[in-house]
Structure 1
Amino acid sequence: MKLGFAGTGALTSAIVIGLKSLKCDPVSIVLSPRNEEIAANLASRYPNVRVASADGTAGAPVPAASGWEEEAFGAGAGP
Protein backbone atom coordinates (compact mmCIF):
# COMPACT_ATOMS: atom_id res chain seq x y z
CA MET A 1 0.00 0.00 0.00
CA LYS A 2 1.20 3.52 -0.79
CA LEU A 3 0.02 6.56 1.18
CA GLY A 4 0.63 10.25 0.59
CA PHE A 5 0.07 13.10 3.01
CA ALA A 6 -0.50 16.71 1.94
CA GLY A 7 0.22 18.18 5.34
CA THR A 8 3.17 17.30 7.52
CA GLY A 9 2.18 18.53 10.94
CA ALA A 10 1.53 16.85 14.26
CA LEU A 11 -1.38 14.71 13.00
CA THR A 12 0.54 13.32 10.02
CA SER A 13 3.55 12.69 12.23
CA ALA A 14 1.42 10.73 14.71
CA ILE A 15 -0.19 8.67 11.92
CA VAL A 16 3.16 7.83 10.32
CA ILE A 17 4.73 6.87 13.67
CA GLY A 18 1.69 4.71 14.46
CA LEU A 19 1.77 2.95 11.10
CA LYS A 20 5.48 2.34 11.37
CA SER A 21 5.10 0.83 14.84
CA LEU A 22 3.04 -2.05 13.44
CA LYS A 23 4.80 -5.41 13.23
CA CYS A 24 3.62 -5.91 9.66
CA ASP A 25 4.69 -2.77 7.81
CA PRO A 26 3.52 -2.96 4.17
CA VAL A 27 3.03 0.80 3.86
CA SER A 28 5.17 3.07 1.70
CA ILE A 29 4.63 6.73 2.58
CA VAL A 30 5.24 9.90 0.59
CA LEU A 31 5.15 13.19 2.49
CA SER A 32 4.71 16.63 1.00
CA PRO A 33 7.58 19.00 1.74
CA ARG A 34 5.14 21.42 3.36
CA ASN A 35 6.89 21.23 6.75
CA GLU A 36 10.42 20.34 5.74
CA GLU A 37 11.67 19.71 9.28
CA ILE A 38 8.97 17.18 10.21
CA ALA A 39 9.03 15.50 6.79
CA ALA A 40 12.83 15.13 6.83
CA ASN A 41 12.75 13.78 10.39
CA LEU A 42 10.19 11.11 9.53
CA ALA A 43 12.02 10.16 6.32
CA SER A 44 15.28 9.75 8.23
CA ARG A 45 13.64 7.53 10.87
CA TYR A 46 11.89 5.10 8.54
CA PRO A 47 13.33 3.50 5.38
CA ASN A 48 10.11 3.47 3.32
CA VAL A 49 9.08 7.05 4.11
CA ARG A 50 10.24 9.73 1.72
CA VAL A 51 9.66 13.39 1.00
CA ALA A 52 8.22 14.31 -2.40
CA SER A 53 9.90 16.93 -4.51
CA ALA A 54 8.45 20.42 -4.17
CA ASP A 55 6.41 20.11 -7.36
CA GLY A 56 6.37 16.31 -7.62
CA THR A 57 5.85 16.35 -11.36
CA ALA A 58 9.26 16.31 -13.09
CA GLY A 59 8.60 19.39 -15.20
CA ALA A 60 4.89 19.04 -15.99
CA PRO A 61 2.57 22.01 -15.35
CA VAL A 62 1.64 22.16 -11.69
CA PRO A 63 -1.47 23.50 -9.96
CA ALA A 64 -0.71 26.62 -7.93
CA ALA A 65 -0.85 24.91 -4.52
CA SER A 66 1.20 21.77 -5.20
CA GLY A 67 1.80 18.87 -7.53
CA TRP A 68 3.08 16.23 -5.20
CA GLU A 69 -0.19 14.31 -5.57
CA GLU A 70 0.92 12.91 -8.92
CA GLU A 71 4.17 11.67 -7.41
CA ALA A 72 2.34 10.08 -4.49
CA PHE A 73 -0.69 8.68 -6.28
CA GLY A 74 0.14 8.56 -9.99
CA ALA A 75 -0.96 10.50 -13.04
CA GLY A 76 -4.40 12.04 -12.91
CA ALA A 77 -4.33 12.66 -9.16
CA GLY A 78 -4.76 16.04 -7.58
CA PRO A 79 -7.01 19.01 -8.25
Structure 2
Amino acid sequence: MISSLLLIITPDILKYYQKYKVCAVPQKTVHAEHREMLQKIKDKDKDGMKELVLRHLSNLIDFAKLSTKGEIPEFEYGHI
Protein backbone atom coordinates (compact mmCIF):
# COMPACT_ATOMS: atom_id res chain seq x y z
CA MET A 1 0.00 0.00 0.00
CA ILE A 2 2.73 2.48 0.99
CA SER A 3 4.77 1.59 -2.09
CA SER A 4 1.78 2.32 -4.32
CA LEU A 5 1.19 5.68 -2.65
CA LEU A 6 4.85 6.62 -3.01
CA LEU A 7 4.73 5.83 -6.73
CA ILE A 8 1.79 8.21 -7.07
CA ILE A 9 3.17 11.15 -5.08
CA THR A 10 6.90 10.94 -5.83
CA PRO A 11 6.80 12.82 -9.18
CA ASP A 12 4.99 15.77 -7.57
CA ILE A 13 7.38 15.78 -4.62
CA LEU A 14 10.39 15.84 -6.96
CA LYS A 15 8.92 18.76 -8.96
CA TYR A 16 8.32 20.67 -5.72
CA TYR A 17 11.85 19.98 -4.47
CA GLN A 18 13.29 21.13 -7.78
CA LYS A 19 11.14 24.28 -7.93
CA TYR A 20 12.07 25.42 -4.43
CA LYS A 21 15.60 23.97 -4.40
CA VAL A 22 14.85 21.99 -1.27
CA CYS A 23 17.70 19.59 -1.87
CA ALA A 24 20.26 21.81 -3.56
CA VAL A 25 23.16 19.85 -2.13
CA PRO A 26 26.53 19.45 -3.85
CA GLN A 27 27.00 15.87 -5.10
CA LYS A 28 30.31 15.50 -3.24
CA THR A 29 28.52 16.28 0.02
CA VAL A 30 25.70 13.83 -0.70
CA HIS A 31 28.14 11.05 -1.57
CA ALA A 32 30.27 11.69 1.52
CA GLU A 33 27.21 11.68 3.78
CA HIS A 34 25.90 8.45 2.28
CA ARG A 35 29.30 6.77 2.67
CA GLU A 36 29.34 7.94 6.28
CA MET A 37 25.82 6.52 6.76
CA LEU A 38 26.93 3.15 5.43
CA GLN A 39 29.83 3.13 7.86
CA LYS A 40 27.51 3.99 10.77
CA ILE A 41 25.28 1.07 9.76
CA LYS A 42 28.28 -1.29 9.57
CA ASP A 43 29.44 -0.06 12.98
CA LYS A 44 25.89 -0.37 14.39
CA ASP A 45 26.33 3.19 15.69
CA LYS A 46 22.71 4.17 16.43
CA ASP A 47 23.51 7.50 18.09
CA GLY A 48 25.95 8.49 15.38
CA MET A 49 23.44 7.50 12.70
CA LYS A 50 20.68 9.54 14.32
CA GLU A 51 22.92 12.62 14.42
CA LEU A 52 24.03 12.07 10.83
CA VAL A 53 20.50 11.62 9.49
CA LEU A 54 19.30 14.76 11.26
CA ARG A 55 22.25 16.69 9.82
CA HIS A 56 21.65 15.15 6.39
CA LEU A 57 17.97 16.15 6.45
CA SER A 58 18.39 19.52 8.19
CA ASN A 59 17.55 21.61 5.11
CA LEU A 60 14.47 19.52 4.47
CA ILE A 61 13.38 19.79 8.11
CA ASP A 62 13.91 23.57 8.12
CA PHE A 63 12.07 23.90 4.81
CA ALA A 64 9.12 21.88 6.13
CA LYS A 65 8.89 24.02 9.27
CA LEU A 66 8.84 27.24 7.25
CA SER A 67 6.44 25.94 4.60
CA THR A 68 3.90 24.94 7.26
CA LYS A 69 3.90 28.61 8.26
CA GLY A 70 3.27 29.62 4.65
CA GLU A 71 6.84 30.83 4.19
CA ILE A 72 8.40 29.01 1.27
CA PRO A 73 11.97 30.25 1.00
CA GLU A 74 14.45 30.10 -1.81
CA PHE A 75 17.71 28.92 -0.26
CA GLU A 76 21.02 27.26 -0.90
CA TYR A 77 22.41 24.24 0.91
CA GLY A 78 23.13 25.10 4.50
CA HIS A 79 21.48 28.52 4.35
CA ILE A 80 17.86 29.49 4.87
Task: Report which structure shows greater RCO (CA 8 Å, sep ≥6).
Answer: 2
Highest CA radius of gyration, 1 or 2?
2
TM-score tier (shorter): 0.3 to 0.5
Q: Is the strand fraction higher in 1 or 2?
A: 1
